[in-house]
Every structure is written in C-alpha cells, then in structure tokens.
Chains A and B, each alone.
Chain A
C-alpha cells in the first residue's frame, strides 16, 4: 500500500477543487454568452463550420439588400416607361386624328401643337436622372443624357441617342448578375419621326389629302406603333425580372434560415444540458468541501 503524506490529501483536494472551478467557469461563460464554443480550440471543426456559415450569411444579407434596391430601381424604371408609353398612346391618337381627310389646315395645326407637349414630356422622361443626377436610360454612360436635342440640326435629325445600349449588372448572387437599367435608343427615332410630322402638320395650308402628307402621317403612325410595342416589351421584361428577383430573394431567405438553424444547432449552447452539468459540478464541489473539512479534523495529535 502506498504511503500517504499529510499534504497529499490537501494537494489532491486543491487540484480537484481547481479543476471543478475551471469547469464551472467555462460552463458559466457558455451560459452567459449563449455560445457553445467560447474559443476555437474547444472544437476547431465546428469553429470552421460556424465561420463559413456566418460568412455565407453576410454574403446573402448583402445579396438580399442588393435585390431589394434593384427591385425598387426597376419599379422606378417601370413607372417612367409607363409614363412614356402613355405619351406614345396619346401621340398615336393624335396622329390617327390627323390622318382624317376631312381635317382642314387649321385642324392639322391644332393637332400638331398638341403633339409638341407630348414630345417634350417624352424627352424629359427619357432623360430622367436618379437622386445623384445620373441618367437612368442612357445605358452605362450615366453622365450623358439618353437623348440629346440639337435645335440647330435639320428637322428629323434633331434628336440623337447619346447613351449606349450596355447594361449595368448588379451582383444578386455569387457570380449571378441582373441588369439594373434599360437603354432607350428607340426614343430618338420616335422623337425625330414625331418632330418631322409635327413640323409638316403645322405648316400653313397643309393638306392631309396630298400623298406626301398622308404617307408621312401613315409612316409616323407605324413608327409610333413600333415604338409602343418596343416599350411595352421592355416593361414586360422588367416585370419578368422582378419575378426572378422575388424568387431569388425567397431562395436566399430559405438558405439563410437553414444556415441560421445550423448555426444555432452547432454554436448555441444547450441551456438545459449545460445547466445540468453546472449543477453537477456545484454539488461535487460542495461534497468535496464537506469531505475535506471532515477529514482534516482527523489527526492523531488531537488525541495523544
């Protein structure tokens, strides 16, 4: 049997109490922070997983924020396009009216002067800018207006598209981009056609029954219809894009939820289990302390 020195019992007791106290400290920290792992060394693998999940979450949060901003931006685009579309419809009505052979020169002149504000409205809307003064419909050349009006040029060539047809691509996923803008090159053609028609119809003594004038009006009506079709198509494609973005947003929310659930199951402390452990250690420490106080009373010196 091993000989036991008096201090061995004390040393053993102090080691046991220290170990238990360290464990209680760790459990208390877990309960206080709500985190299962308070240092990477407690479970390096789980730490790496948690780190990846939190990075994923950060990415998704940014993508979702981009999607929301992009959806707003597309809605703004859509409302501008609707306004243009309404103007085009009004212009179409006026031109159909102008094609009526019973109109006299005064009637045509009145129609022509009604066309003027519509053209101004279309030009103004096509050259819309965002809050920072960047042009919305000029492709990626956001510092130049989409349509430039040069009053000195010949009629029919006074409007030019000064943007480009390139798309601004917004990151809405890892390696996934969606266009944030639409360019309106067709508006220059339309405005030039309307300009020509307006100028012709407002000429004194214009007769709509001459082949030149009626041909021009008919061609302009065709042009307006083409432009309307093109704008309507763009509006429809914006709607489609909105749908794609909504779907992506929902998917991201699902992924985020799954990630968060995994984060919780990996990284969040199990309160019940941890509290039970803590109670276990507390009981053990109390028992050890009582045992120590009892056993240390035993000494032969007390009786000799």
Chain B
C-alpha cells in the first residue's frame, strides 16, 4: 500500500508551492522581482499493474514567470525614454534664461539701439554719448553671460557623459559576472531566479544609457551588444566605453572589447545619444550663431564708426572688442573709450553732425550673414534663435511624452507577466494549504485502514 508515500509527496508539493507563494508575497514590493510558481507533474507508478493509479506528485521545477519579448520591449522603452529625457533639463535651463525678453541679448540690443536713437537728438551731447557707451557695455555683458551659459552647458553635458560612461562600464562588468554566476547555478540545478532578476535589471539600466540588443545563449548567459552591432557583453567578457575630446570641443565615444577598439558614431540610442544630439543639434548651432552675432556687432559698428569722425574731426576708433576663445568669444567695450572718441559725425569739420550716427542706427535693421541663421538682421537673429530653441524643446518634450507612454505600457506588460498579485498569492496560499491538509487527511485514512487491518488479527485491541 503506497497511500502514505503518495500523500507525503502531495504534502511536500503543497509545501513547495506554499514556499513559492511566500517568496512572491515577501517580494511584493521588490523592484524587478519576477514571480515564481511550482510546476507539478504526477509520478508514474513504480510497478506495472492495471489497478495502480501512480506514485504521487512531484515538483518538476520552479517556474520563473518571465517573457524575453516583454523584457526586450521594456529595454527598448528605457532607451527611448533615456534619449528624450536626458537633454530636457538643459533645454529648460536655456528656455528660462533666453525666453525672458526683458533680459538677455534682445534687451541688450534694444537698449543699445535706443541709446543711439536718443543720441541723434544731439549728437555732440556728452551725456547721450555716455549712454551709448554704457548700453554698449551692457550689450557686451549680455553676450558674454549667454556665452558663459552655453559653455557651462557644454561642460555639464560632457561631465554627465563621463558619469554615464563609468556607469555603463560598471553595468557591463556586472552583467558579465552575473552571466558567469547564472551559468554555474544552472549547471548545478540551483534556482537562479534572483540572479536572472538582477541581470534583467542591469540590462534595463544599461538600455537607458544606450540602446542594446540581447541574444540568449544555450548555457543560460546573455550576450549584449549595441544596436549598431558592437559587443558590450559576451559571456563573462565585458566591453569598456570611453570618450575622447576633439579639438572642436565635441566628444567621440570609443568602445574597447577584448583589446579591439571601435569608434562609435553618435547614434547609440539612450541617454548618450540624447546628450550627443543636444550638443550637436542645439547647443553648437546656437553657440555658432550667438558668437557670430557678437562678432558681427563688433565688426559692423566698428566699421561704421571708422567711416565717421569724432567731434574733434579725427577718424573714428572701435567701440567694441571681440576676442575669439574656443567655440565662443568675449565681447567688450574698448577699454578707456571716451565719449569724445565716438565718431557720430560724417563731416570732420562739423562736431554736431549726426550723419554717421544715422548710419549706425540703421545697422540693426540691415541683414548680416550669421552662421546657421543665414542673412538676418541683428534684431531678428535673437528672436529666431529663441523661436528655434522653443520648437526644438517642444519636439523633445513631445518625444519624451510619447516615450513615457511607451515605457508605461511596456512596464504594465512586464508587470502583467512577471509582477506579483497579492490576491492571487492569497488564493494560492489557501488552495495549497487545503491541498496540504487533504494529503494529511489521506495519511490519517491510511493510518485508520492500517489499524483496522491490525485489529482483524487482534480483536481485543479494538475497543
């Protein structure tokens, strides 16, 4: 009679299932935890015979509820979200500074133009001339603080990239180590579920930085590569990422895998591409335009001043100084310039003449050739730059909103497959508890049967 051993297998299976449910319930709030369940199978009879039902139940495996396709969706969504959200703080900062029309270069240009216009009332007036120099100095400061902001952003993006690169390198090393541990665990039949969860999470973090593709290997390891093909992790070998700064202040990404070096173009997806795109498509063109504007302000006004005469009848001297420095430059008012150095007159003998001043006033409505923007007037250039920035930021926000929806959806799908439902676990606990109790009951029945059989041979024993 095998009732007892069959019942025991049932009680053991129920206990394993209760363990799995307990583990699931315990990890209800654990990020990245994939729920587990027991896979039960009936055990074939140990000996032949038409009247034998079987030898009980066995837990053939502990199943980890995970779907590689769902994981891939989640990782793709992380790349998309990383790409569109990484640059947004920089956009927001630029918008806050440049969007205010009462400060900044626009206001500086307006102020300078106003001062010139006011000077036309009395071109030889010292206070009005002083106002021109003061507003020119303020305009130069606006250019410089804008340049400073853009240079700071360039540096901040580079620093963020450096920090991302070190995180990427940690993650690839981590994934490679987990690959090794998972292969070892599976070879000895140990449950590697926790390790698999850690590895999936590490890949998810990696995917936020750069877009990845993964390939399952028969031994349980996962190979990770960039979507452009370069390997990041193969088995237990991890690649290492680095950045080199180019002469034009841009950075190039290099990937080293087993002593083979790859140069990556910017299209690596994720946060790395978001930052790269912001630098290349937003910050650099803006720096070129604004530096070009500063240079044009200096050139146009200085040239026009050189064509005129000071009240003393001497040829005009430059009002502005532009010193190029790397990607940007600094604009300043010529040190020590006096009101009597401003050449507003077009007649060396007439100190009160404003002919050249009229030409100076007209400069801000004359088109000048600016990098990126083409031929625009100085007064329109800044409006155009702010408009372009607004459009680019809006595009990025829209992309981020879409990526967020995709990410939420992917997360929901993943949760649907791998997430724990506490009600489900409560049901399991009740059901497997009942299964355990039923099997105990079977043992009780078997015991009674056994006692009855014994009593047949010893009636005195039966009360």
Q: A: which residues have CB within 8 A of B?
A: 2-8, 11-12, 15, 38-45, 47-48, 50-52, 54-55, 58-59, 61-63, 65-66, 69-70, 73, 130, 132, 134, 138-143, 164, 166, 168-171, 174-175, 177, 180-181, 299-301, 304
CB pair A134 B352 closer than 8 Å: yes
Task: Write out the residue numbers on chain B whose beta carbons fall within 8 Å of the beta carbon of A170.
Answer: 120-121, 354
Q: A4-B416, A166-B350 are in contact. List 18 more A-B contacts (CB 8 A).
A: A5-B419, A41-B91, A41-B391, A44-B391, A48-B384, A48-B387, A51-B106, A51-B382, A52-B383, A55-B110, A62-B114, A69-B118, A132-B122, A132-B125, A140-B353, A142-B350, A168-B352, A300-B427
CB pair A180 B122 closer than 8 Å: yes
Q: Which of these, B311, B362, B393, contacts A143 with CB under 8 Å?
A: B311
Q: Which of these, B95, B358, B365, B429, contacts A41 with CB under 8 Å?
A: B95
* Interface core residue of A43, A130, A132 (most chain B CB under 10 Å): A132
Q: Which of these, B124, B358, B423, contacts A169 with CB under 8 Å?
A: B358
Q: B: which residues have CB within 8 A of A?
A: 28-29, 91-92, 95-96, 98-99, 101-102, 106, 110, 113-114, 117-118, 120-127, 311, 345, 347, 349-355, 358, 361-362, 365, 379, 382-384, 386-394, 397, 408, 411-412, 415-423, 426-427, 429-430
Q: How far is the CB of A48 from chain B (nearest CB, A)?
A: 4
Task: Write out the residue numbers on chain B whose beta carbons fall within 8 Å of the beta carbon of A52.
Answer: 383
Task: Write out the residue numbers on chain A whose beta carbons fall within 8 Å of the beta carbon of B392.
Answer: 41
CB pair B347 A140 closer than 8 Å: yes
Q: Which of these, A44, A50, A63, A140, contacts B351 with CB under 8 Å?
A: A140
Tell me the bound Cα distance from A54 to B95 in angstroms.
17
CB pair A5 B421 closer than 8 Å: yes
Interchain Cβ contacts under 8 Å between A and B, 28 examples? A5-B418, A7-B420, A11-B408, A11-B412, A12-B412, A39-B99, A39-B393, A40-B98, A41-B394, A42-B390, A44-B388, A48-B390, A52-B383, A54-B102, A58-B114, A59-B113, A134-B352, A143-B311, A164-B350, A168-B120, A168-B123, A168-B354, A169-B355, A170-B120, A175-B362, A175-B365, A299-B423, A301-B426
CB pair B416 A304 closer than 8 Å: no
Smallest Cβ-Cβ distance to B28: which chain A residue: A6
Tell me the bound Cα distance from A300 to B416 in angstroms.
19
Q: Which of these, A3, A141, A164, contacts B421 with CB under 8 Å?
A: A3
Tell me the bound Cα distance from A132 to B127 in angstroms.
9
Q: How far is the CB of B264 from chain A (nearest CB, A)?
A: 30
CB pair A8 B422 closer than 8 Å: no
CB pair A73 B354 closer than 8 Å: no
CB pair A6 B420 closer than 8 Å: yes
Tell me the bound Cα distance from A287 to B106 in angstroms.
46
Task: Write out the residue numbers on chain B whose beta carbons fall within 8 Å of the beta carbon of A138.
Answer: 352
Task: Write out the residue numbers on chain A whose beta carbons fall within 8 Å of the beta carbon of B389.
Answer: 40-41
CB pair A300 B352 closer than 8 Å: no
Tell me the bound Cα distance from A73 to B106 in angstroms.
31
CB pair A142 B351 closer than 8 Å: yes
* Interface core residue of A181, A300, A304 (most chain B CB under 10 Å): A300
Q: How far is the CB of B326 from chain A (nearest CB, A)?
A: 27
Task: Write out the residue numbers on chain B whose beta carbons fall within 8 Å of the beta carbon of A15.
Answer: 408
Task: Write out the residue numbers on chain B whose beta carbons fall within 8 Å of the beta carbon of A177.
Answer: 120, 358
Q: How far is the CB of A54 from chain B (nearest CB, A)?
A: 5
CB pair B124 A134 closer than 8 Å: yes
CB pair A8 B419 closer than 8 Å: yes
CB pair A134 B122 closer than 8 Å: yes
Q: Which of these, A11, A44, A58, A304, contacts B390 with CB under 8 Å?
A: A44
Tell me the bound Cα distance from A304 to B429 in angstroms.
9
Tell me the bound Cα distance from A81 to B14 in angstroms.
116
Task: Write out the residue numbers on chain B whose beta carbons fall within 8 Å of the beta carbon of A59.
Answer: 110, 113
Q: Which of these, B127, B354, B358, B427, contacts A140 with CB under 8 Å?
A: B354
Task: Write out the residue numbers on chain B whose beta carbons fall within 8 Å of the beta carbon of A300.
Answer: 422-423, 426-427
Task: Write out the residue numbers on chain B whose beta carbons fall within 8 Å of the beta carbon of A66.
Answer: 117-118, 120-121
9 nearest A-B pairs in the assembled complex, by CB-CB distance: A5-B419, A40-B390, A142-B352, A44-B390, A300-B426, A41-B393, A140-B350, A140-B353, A5-B415
Smallest Cβ-Cβ distance to B408: which chain A residue: A15
Tell me the bound Cα distance from A25 to B90 in angstroms.
20
Task: Write out the residue numbers on chain A whose beta carbons fall within 8 Å of the beta carbon of B101.
Answer: 50-51, 54-55
Q: How far is the CB of B325 from chain A (nearest CB, A)?
A: 28
Tell me the bound Cα distance from A47 to B353 in angstroms.
40
Tell me the bound Cα distance from A6 to B101 in angstroms.
49
CB pair A47 B352 closer than 8 Å: no
Smallest Cβ-Cβ distance to A181: which chain B residue: B352
Tell me the bound Cα distance from A54 to B379 in angstroms.
12
Q: How far is the CB of B230 from chain A (nearest CB, A)?
A: 34
Tell me the bound Cα distance from A134 to B124 in angstroms.
8
Task: Write out the residue numbers on chain B whose beta carbons fall within 8 Å of the beta carbon of A69.
Answer: 118, 121
Smallest Cβ-Cβ distance to B353: which chain A residue: A140
Q: How far is the CB of A130 from chain B (nearest CB, A)?
A: 7
CB pair B121 A141 closer than 8 Å: no
Tell me the bound Cα distance from A174 to B362 in angstroms.
8
Tell me the bound Cα distance from A263 to B101 in angstroms.
13
Q: How far is the CB of A302 from chain B (nearest CB, A)?
A: 9
Q: How far is the CB of A144 from chain B (nearest CB, A)?
A: 8
Task: Write out the residue numbers on chain A whose beta carbons fall within 8 Å of the beta carbon of B426.
Answer: 299-301, 304
CB pair B120 A169 closer than 8 Å: yes
CB pair A41 B397 closer than 8 Å: yes
CB pair B383 A299 closer than 8 Å: no
Known: A48-B387, A55-B383, A62-B114. A166 touches B121 (CB 8 A): no
Tell me the bound Cα distance from A39 to B347 in angstroms.
48
Known: A142-B124, A169-B358. A8 touches B393 (CB 8 A): no
CB pair A141 B362 closer than 8 Å: no
Task: Write out the residue numbers on chain A whose beta carbons fall within 8 Å of the beta carbon of B91.
Answer: 41
Smallest Cβ-Cβ distance to B382: which chain A residue: A51
CB pair A47 B387 closer than 8 Å: yes
Q: How far is the CB of B261 from chain A (nearest CB, A)?
A: 39
Q: How far is the CB of B362 from chain A (nearest CB, A)?
A: 7
Task: Write out the residue numbers on chain A whose beta carbons fall within 8 Å of the beta carbon of B28.
Answer: 6-7
Q: How far is the CB of A249 from chain B (nearest CB, A)?
A: 15
CB pair A139 B350 closer than 8 Å: yes
Tell me the bound Cα distance from A169 to B122 in angstroms.
9
Known: A6-B422, A11-B411. A70 touches B95 (CB 8 A): no
* Interface core residue of A6, A52, A73 (most chain B CB under 10 Å): A6
Tell me the bound Cα distance from A141 to B123 in angstroms.
11
CB pair B99 A47 closer than 8 Å: yes
Smallest Cβ-Cβ distance to A299: which chain B residue: B422
CB pair A62 B390 closer than 8 Å: no
Task: Write out the residue numbers on chain A whose beta carbons fall within 8 Å of the beta carbon of B355.
Answer: 169
Smallest Cβ-Cβ distance to A46: which chain B residue: B390
Tell me the bound Cα distance from A139 to B361 in angstroms.
21
Tell me the bound Cα distance from A174 to B126 in angstroms.
24
Task: Write out the residue numbers on chain A whose beta carbons fall within 8 Å of the beta carbon of B390.
Answer: 39-44, 47-48
